[in-house]
Structure 1
């Protein structure tokens, strides 16, 4: 059994949430780059998978009001 841990402070929780959103933005931008490369090589099935990742990340950022992290209006 693990020892109980203290809850995160509000500042730590906010920092963690910000980090998670920034990681999501990086995943979106990586998927966009990957999709462009796949489209250039005519791998359209792979491009669809990359677009699915982009869509998921965009939805998470939109829900958090942080589309600005990927160059979109928030």
Structure 2
């Protein structure tokens, strides 16, 4: 099937099942994808910040790109 991006996400779906797309859009409604992404980024930044020396990182900085 053709590749389509789910609305308001960075998720691409390959397939011809319209009900699957509708279901996935409903799962990620209310900006859920952005909330999941933000949470993962914050968790990763926290881990990197805690492990600066072990990872040989000088600083951790979160930047908005949208």
Structure 1: unaligned runs, 5 residues or longer: 39-45, 65-74
RMSD: 3.0
More helix by share: 1
More strand by share: 2
Shift >4 Å, 4+ stretches = none
TM-score (ref. length: structure 2): 0.50
TM-score (ref. length: structure 1): 0.46
Flag the structure with more relative contact order, 1 or 2, with Cα contacts below 8 A and sequence separation at least 6.
1
Q: Which residue of the other structure, out of 14, 18, 36, is the alignment partner of 1:19?
A: 36
Structure 2: unaligned runs, 5 residues or longer: 2-14
